[in-house]
Amino acid sequence: GYEELPTAVNITWSSINFKTILQWQPKPSGYFYTVEIHGRTSDVKRKCILTSETECDVTDALRNVKETYTAHILSVMPAEMDNFEEPPFAVSEKFTPYSQTIIGKPEIKDYSQEGSKLNVVFKDPLTPYVFLNGSFQSVQDIFQHDLEYKLYYWKDQSSGKKDVTTKSHNFEVSVDSGKNYCFYVQGIIPSRRENRYGQESMVLCTNVGRNILDEYGTEVFIILAVIAVAVITLAIVLPVVLCKCKKAKKARAVREKELLNGV
């Protein structure tokens, strides 16, 4: 009967860019799970009905991202689904997508360094939710003015880091002309108490004025110097050797001719 079935434990919400996965334990044996999503003001939605998995994508059930939800994970026997007896279930912690989903990595679309100006253009992460025309909404579309982005930048091979903030999708900062800079972008929601900082974009570096010594260090310079000395030495020694060989060959030919004439 239902009273003998174990209930889910270690229930966790995992959410990035509003794609939300519910996970729990243990793996069922001889029974199944069904997930119910309960909102404060919304109807109950069932997901992953009679699943033998221990995770469920509940993104579609959380479309009202400012709503606060709990998940009921029911332990059920398939033959008893139509019974009036309520199956045992476990209840998750509360989850509000708007305040708890993690902001994913921004995508760097373009960057350039001209003179003393570093320009960086980036793109918002997309969410699983779509507009009426079918295009995906970005995190900026959902968060609006609550979301801002920060550019962290520093002189290449230096530990001194600076930052600047924007609510648009591009940065323009003043840098030292002729020096290379590295940088990354990160989304931030200042109004949050937790999960305020999003994931960091990949780190990129400019290559203005970069030479082989900057790129590979003194080892390559030493190797190139040794090669240059070897080439110069060969260029000097080789003609001398060839000249001596030519003279020796000519002298040998003269001696052979004299010997033949003597005979």
pLDDT in tens, 106-157: 999 999 999 999 999 999 999 999 998 989 999 999 999 999 999 999 999 8
107-209 is classed in which CATH architecture?
Answer: Sandwich (2.60)
Give one word for 95, left, alpha or beta, with left for phi > 0 and alpha for psi -120 to 50: beta
Averaged pLDDT, 197-225: 74
Which fold is adopted by the domain 9-99?
Answer: Immunoglobulin-like (2.60.40)
∠ CA(45), CA(50), CA(52), 5° rounding?
A: 125
Per-residue pLDDT of 176-203, as tens digits, reads: 999 999 999 999 999 998 899 999 999 9
- Taking CA atoms, 107 is separated from 10, 85, 164, 200, in Å, by 33, 51, 17, 10
Say how far apart CA 106 and CA 200 lie, in whole Å: 7
Say how far apart CA 179 and CA 82 lie, in whole Å: 72
Other Cβ atoms closer than 10 A to 26: 11
The answer, yes or no, to whether the previous bond of 26 is cis (omega within 30 of 0) is yes
pTM over cut 0.85? no
